[in-house]
Structure 1
Amino acid sequence: MTDALTDVRTPAATGTLAPPEEKAPAARKVPVPGPAAPPRSGARRRRRLGPGKGVPFGRLLGPVLLVAVWWAASAAGYLDPRILSGPGAVVSTAVELISDGRLQGNVLVSLRRAGSGLLLGVGAGVLLAVTAGLSRTGEYLVDGPLQIKRAIPSLAMLPLLILWLGIGEQMKVTVIALGVAVIVYINTYASLTGIDSRHVELAEVLELSRWTFLRKVVLPGSLPGFFVGLRLGVTSSWLGLIVVEQVNATSGIGYMMFQAQQYAQSDVIIVGLVAYGTFGFASDALVRAVERRALSWRRTLAG
């Protein structure tokens, strides 16, 4: 019976040592994120490479500073009023021109000319850019002549346009429209041809219709370049207007300035320049506002 019993012996009795018991690994403590500690005085801060946060109406700082320097130089006697009138004389002259209605009438005529040329030029530039950017045949037919036209200033064509169209309003609007159309075409065409070909291949795989392709791929891809061309086109319309209004014109801001040149009225000339600059600055700001709204999906340095 004793043989049947199991011989249970302790490790001490057998003279052998039991292996040491394995300890369970201690659980790692996961740090719980707490409130960020304030930066030390000697800690290195991250350098900001962007232009910084925008300030409302910050773009007016430059023009205001320019007027302040002009006013200070005039008050200190550094400017000859016969060559460059001071801000006070310019303001009083502007008030006189407004009181007798000369300034408003000339401004309205200039705005009508610039607006008509701008609309025609933008429409023609966009149509030609779409034709050349979405079709090889259109590119071969359109891009070459427009690249040649880009090398020829619109003002160089003024004698020929006078010969064809006379010296009336049609010629003036055509000169402005030609300058705007080329600028809008160049930028919109570059933006269209710069669309990633993988987007086009994806649209083909998804079997998008032509209209859906234009709306979902072409339009968003071409808008950045179009707005660049539009801003430059607005500036070009005012530059062309200054020239054409001094060619046998009977009204407009340029005509008023040309007449003032005959009588050495620098204050009237400066009033015209201020009017041109004000409308150019305001129109560019308007295009910027529309661009920010239309391209709100982009994150750029402009903000």
Structure 2
Amino acid sequence: MRTINFTREHMADARELALLCYGEERSRVPVLPGAAELPDLTYFADNGLGVAAYEDGKMLGFLCCTEPFDHAFGSTDARGVFSPMGANAAVTQDRDKIYAAMYQHAAQKWVKAGAVSHGICLYAHEEAAQQQFFRYGFGLRCIDAIRTMEPIVCNLNEGYEMEELTGETIDTAYPLEVMLNRHFYSSPLFMNRPLASREVFCSTFTADQGRCFLTKYKGKPCAYLMISQSGETCITEIPEYLHITGAYCLPEYRGRGVFQNLLSYAVNLLKKEGYTCLGVDYESLNPAAYAFWQKYFAAYTHGLVRRIDEHILQVL
């Protein structure tokens, strides 16, 4: 096996291999929609940061990433790169060894480009590949999950009301957005996410044509659910797929089925509009989110990340 720089001449082999790997994950998560092709790889071939693995003229794998970007994860000072879904793949046999060799080659280029935060999206059931990246110092950070547009059966006490907000009423959800942001400060998350002002929050909702569902208890907002047409992975571009971009329930209302009912309320409305799938991405280091979403959604990707000692940039 040899690893070489990924170029346009490798794109056809890479597309075929990426689709095979997606089909493998889809066999484990049947709710995933079919895909005739994954994202175009021209950008990744042209940025010079990808690698491919070949043996006897056959592609064994490829590993590409974005160009380096500032403020990795939106809350650090690190410069990072990310290999999204469809921008990496490897054959089943010796998959861990193939990824090990590809990352060793690619990481040298990534660090030379100034990136000390390395992220890679792997399919959730690629155990061999994940274990290899764990050996290389990566940890699990993010999860993408999916479910069909089917309601959750659960009971709800009296006094709760649910509604879909509009551009005129979206302001009602902003205090819950603030509480969600504060939740990210807490242990073990320690994430200082940028918080949009009330005006920006409302204007962005209108501009993006988002959907927001709210639960009130005796007139007081206690939970909200934000949904968008776009998500974190390439399959979120399928028209019948919607994606959760914000969700929060006040702690004093948890354990009462409040959020389950709000999710069902939204799903019932969206299903009538022809949507078939609902996705969500969440941090594995968020215990409340992890406990809830894994009950009602099926994970299909794991986002792994490694933070390298940035002082290495002074000697390379």
Q: TM-score, length-normalised on structure 2?
A: 0.26
**Which of 1 and 2 has greater Rg?**
1
Structure number with the higher strand fraction is 2
Structure number with the higher helix fraction is 1
